[in-house]
Amino acid sequence: MAMPGTLDSANLNGGQKLAVKYFTVALALFGAQIVFGLLAGIQYLKPDFLYGVLDFSVNRMVHINALVVWLLFGFIGSSYWLLEDEAGIPVVGLRLGNLVFWVFTLAVAVVVVVYLLVQIGPGDHSTLWLINEGREYIEAPRWADIGIVACVLAFFFNVAATFAKGRYTGIGGVLVLDLIALFGIYLAGMFYTPNISVDQYWWWWVIHLWVEATWEVLVGCLMAYGLMQTLGVRRKIVETWLYIEVALMFGSGILGLGHHYFWIGTPEYWFTIGGFFSALEPIPLVAMVVHSVFDSGTHNMKNNNHPALAWIIAHAFGNFFGAGVWGFMHTLPQINLYTHGTQWSASHGHFAFFGAYATLVIAFFYLALQKWRGNVWMSGGLAGAWRWKWALGLLNLGMVGMVMAMLVAGYEQSQIERAIEGSSWVGYFVAQAHPWFVQGMWWRQVFGWMFAAGFVLLVWDLLTLGRGERRPAQAHSESAPR
């Protein structure tokens, strides 16, 4: 065993060694996401910036694809992270898992290089197969789709086979079923149709059923594990609550899909379905609030990893505000008619993606770091603790600032472009030229730089936190695994 306080893979089990590889790539892609977000943001202010070289469409595509892929890498890494702890045995087929990691990473790199250098192609199927599919978030060309499915099948084999051979915990069972759903849904986005209504119908299956159903349940599994690790909550309780959450999330989230079917050609009954389930969607969030108060009342918040817990708390708030509050504000068709496809959507999209998912993956980065350094002390009185605190503050403030800036812009846009001007070409630019909008875009950029500064600190912190720390991690008040 190495000295505590140094990064040493001897501190990790097989699955965790693979996990930290996925985490490393995830962090790099997070950086790329920010760079291209900033470029796209600048183009709102200075339209000639990189015009004809890296057009807005290219920057935005890389921005949101990097987002989706770094979160998926974070989730896959997190799953490998908890796999051996949960199943009680070494990962089955780990060599395959390692090989697939490199193939997957290489494929992502090739896709991005083609996005940047080739960008677009002729209007026929060859472009969809080789360059990009031109469908938001799932632009990856068809060859990459197939590659992704193959890689993910291998990952799935690792997870399912390990649980099957070891023991199937409740978390394990939910995780396996959820992964089937998560990647099964991806298939719904892998076909071509000339019919834009049919296209968008299935496109939303992928996007909505990911972020409001399967991803929520996946982070539910990760949270369950994280709570046992950081707070030492008992397994039976954690797992019962995981089931409750699955019931509430899927019960409201699956048919909540209706809130995307108001205006794409689909029948009017989706108004009713979308409205009804949107009214239910806050219930799981209320459940989490009550339960977390209950838990903090019954466990005295002694925890062994302060940065991780701080990010878990950020996750709870972010999920509540970004998805719950921001989602509900524009979800009823009576108002969505005017907010649909404006900066309003962008405000909500940023808040929810960051609040619900980016935060939790970052929490796992810290859990991994602690163990990697030999399970060292990461509670109060840590050397250089200012770094993680400032990173936390800058990232969250930067995000909230961007979200507010887009909210103001979207508020103006929904009124002037959508309601007054009837969404015409002229009306669009009247709204874009309004001072509230223009200033909103400037503030988005300013807070974007703040966010980027937070990211730099985060990386620095992940490279240094706990280095040379000799104290062992603080013990739990209760012991976690059964």
Which of 9-17, 50-58, 148-156, 179-187 is the region at the interface with ligand HEC (rule: CB under 6 A)?
50-58
Q: Which residue is nearest to Fe ion (CB)?
A: 208
Nearer to ligand HEC, 6 or 57 (CB): 57
**Length of the chain (residues):** 482
Q: Residue 37's binding partner, choosing from another protein, Fe ion, ligand HEM, none, with beta-carbon cut-off 5 to 8 A by kind? A: ligand HEM
Q: Please, which residue, 43 or 252, has the CB nearer to ligand HEC?
A: 43
DSSP 330-383: TTSHHHHHHHTTSHHHHHHHHHHIIIIIIHHHHHHHHHHHHHHTTSB-BSSS-T
Measured distance CA(405)–CA(174) in Å, rounded: 38
Q: Least Å distance between CB 5 and ligand HEM?
A: 31
Q: Is the Cβ of residue 95 or residue 482 nearer to another protein in the bound state?
A: 482
Kindly tell me which residue out of 6, 28, 55, 282 binds ligand HEC, with binding defined by CB under 6 A.
55
Helix segments in 118-256, DSSP class H: 125-130, 142-165, 170-187, 196-209, 215-230, 235-256
Question: Which whole-number Å values give the CA distances from 278 to 252, 270, 324, 325, in the listed order?
Answer: 7, 11, 10, 11
Tell whether residue 49 is a contact of ligand HEC (CB under 6 A).
no
Least CB distance to ligand HEC at residue 55 (A): 4
Judged by beta carbon distances under 5 to 8 A according to partner kind, the member of Fe ion, ligand HEM, another protein, none in contact with residue 352 is: ligand HEM
Say how far residue 144 (Cα) sits from the centre of its chain. 20
The residues near 451 (Cβ < 8 Å, ≥ 6 apart) are 34, 394, 395, 398, 399, 402
Give whichever of 60 and 259 is closer to ligand HEC, judged by the CB atom.
60
Tell me how far, at minimum, the Cβ of 368 lies from ligand HEM, in Å: 19
Quick one: 74 or 166, whose CB is closer to ligand HEM? Answer: 74
Reference 352, options 289, 411, 399; nearest CA is 399
**What is the greatest pairwise CA distance in the chain?**
69
Asked whether position 482 contacts ligand HEC by CB under 6 A, the answer is: no
24 or 432: whose CB is closer to another protein?
Answer: 432
CA–CA distance, 400 with 318 (Å, rounded to integer): 10
Binding ligand HEC (rule: CB under 6 A), the pick from 290, 334, 425, 482 is 425
CB nearer to another protein: give 381 or 435.
435
CA 455 to chain centre: 16
From the CB of 450, what's the least distance to Fe ion, in Å? 28
Compute φ and ψ for 321, nearest 5 degrees: -75, -50
Nearest to 414 by CA among 329, 325, 328: 329
Closest to 207 in 3D by CA, of 128, 152, 135: 135
Q: Write the CA distances from 238 to 222, 320, 362, 375, integer angstroms.
A: 11, 20, 21, 23
CB of 264 to Fe ion, least distance (A): 13
Question: Which residue's CB atom is positioned nearest to ligand HEC?
Answer: 425
Q: How far is the CB of 88 from ligand HEM (least distance, A)?
A: 31
Which residue among 6, 57, 345, 464 contacts ligand HEC (CB under 6 A)? Answer: 57
In three-state secondary structure terms, 107 is helix
C-beta of 19: minimal distance to ligand HEM in Å? Answer: 20
> Which of these segments, 55-63, 85-93, 258-266, 272-280, binds ligand HEC (CB under 6 A)?
55-63
Under 8 Å between Cβ of 352 and 253? no
Closest C-alpha among 70, 96, 108 to residue 14: 96
Cβ neighbour number for residue 306 with a 10 Å cutoff = 20
Q: Which stretch in 38-46, 200-208, 352-360, 451-459 sits in contact with Fe ion by CB under 5 A?
A: 200-208
Return the number of the residue (38 or 255) whose C-beta is nearest Fe ion: 255
Nearer to another protein, 266 or 303 (CB): 266
Q: What is the DSSP string of 208-245?
A: HHIIIIIHHHHHHHHHHHHHHHHT---HHHHHHHHHHH
Taking CB within 5 to 8 Å according to partner kind, which of Fe ion, ligand HEM, another protein, none is near residue 452? ligand HEM
For ligand HEM, the binding residues (CB under 6 A) are 34, 37-38, 40-41, 60, 63-64, 67, 136, 211-212, 259-260, 278, 281, 323-324, 327-328, 330-331, 336, 340-341, 345-346, 348-350, 352-354, 356, 358, 448, 451-452
Of residues 33, 142, 5, the one with CA closest to residue 452: 33
> With 0-12 CB in 10 A as exposed, 13-18 as middle and 19+ as buried, what is 347?
buried
Cβ at position 265, least distance to Fe ion in Å:
18
CB of 137 to Fe ion, least distance (A): 13
Q: Which of 56, 202, 205, 449 binds ligand HEC (CB under 6 A)?
A: 56
In the bound state with ligand HEM, the residue whose beta carbon lies nearer, of 147 and 253, is: 253
Q: Is 444 in the site for Fe ion (CB under 5 A)?
A: no
Q: What is the DSSP string of 296-311?
A: HHHS----SBHHHHHH
Dist CA 465 CA 384 (whole Å): 7
C-beta of 149 vs 280, nearer to another protein: 280
Contacts with ligand HEC by CB under 6 A lie at 55-57, 425
- Interface ranges with Fe ion (CB under 5 A): 208, 212
